[in-house]
Homo-oligomer: A and B are copies of this chain.
Amino acid sequence: MSLRHAVLAALAQGEASGYELAKRFDVGVANFWSATPQQLYRDLERLEQDGLVSARVVEQSRRPNKRVFVLTTAGREELRAFGERPAKPPAMRDEFLVKLQAVDPERPEAILAAATERIGRSREKLARYDQLRERMLAGRDEDQFLRESDQVGPYLTLMAGRMYEQTNIRWATTVLETLTNRHAGVRGTSG
């Protein structure tokens, strides 16, 4: 159960309700750990039972009340201990690559569309990451930030996401070119 630790790490950046956490996961953590809101709520329950987080209800007038979660001392300690243990190798699940693996170069239409969409999504992500980055840097330059800030972890993981999306765009672009050239070539020789 490692989502636990991803949740603890996310809460280490500041308290949050389940709903807020879901969004935090969606924009930031989703890079390296994906989870649905249901999963988050469920794991928050368990973390609370285990005393690693504590909740308090915040009454709101303009919207429904919410339960805000904070790390407890035990939670911080568990997170620290987790950091010392060896990490499992990363796991990926990418349907697009499965589809591409099996693509018939004579009928690349669906893959071409999917690749185009993928590039679009990567660009959007990149734009969001760049915004987040500016907000983190808050005017400082990167070197200064990395020397001073307490938020180096989130910055470095954000950079991982950023570089990943950049690579992805470059790669998907060559896929697009390769498959269109090839398809054009086939039509050229047969028509």
| Residues of chain A whose beta carbon lies under 8 Å from any beta carbon of chain B | 2, 5-6, 8-10, 12-13, 29, 31-34, 79-80, 82-84, 86-105, 110-111, 114, 121, 146-147, 150, 152-154, 156-157, 159-160, 163-164, 166-167, 170-171, 174-175, 178-179, 181-182, 185
Contacts and interface: CB of A to CB of B under 8 A. Distances in A.
A29 B102 CA distance: 12
Say how many copies of this protein the assembly contains. 2
Contacts of A178: 146, 152, 156
Q: Which of A146, A156, A170 has the most CB of B within 10 A?
A: A156
A161 to B, nearest CB: 9
A175 B94 CA distance: 26
Contact of A156 (B92, B114, B156, B175): B175
B160 A97 contact: yes
Nearest to A79: B102
Nearest to A162: B171
Contacts of A93: 2, 32-34, 90-92
A88 B95 CA distance: 6
A98 B154 CA distance: 9
B31 A92 contact: yes
A188 B99 CA distance: 53
A9 B104 CA distance: 11
26 contacts: A10-B101, A29-B101, A31-B97, A32-B92, A32-B94, A32-B98, A33-B93, A33-B94, A79-B102, A82-B98, A90-B93, A90-B94, A97-B157, A97-B160, A101-B153, A101-B154, A102-B153, A103-B153, A105-B153, A146-B181, A147-B182, A152-B178, A156-B174, A163-B167, A163-B171, A166-B167
Contacts of A92: 31-34, 90-93
Given A147-B182, A156-B178, A178-B146, A2 B95 contact: yes
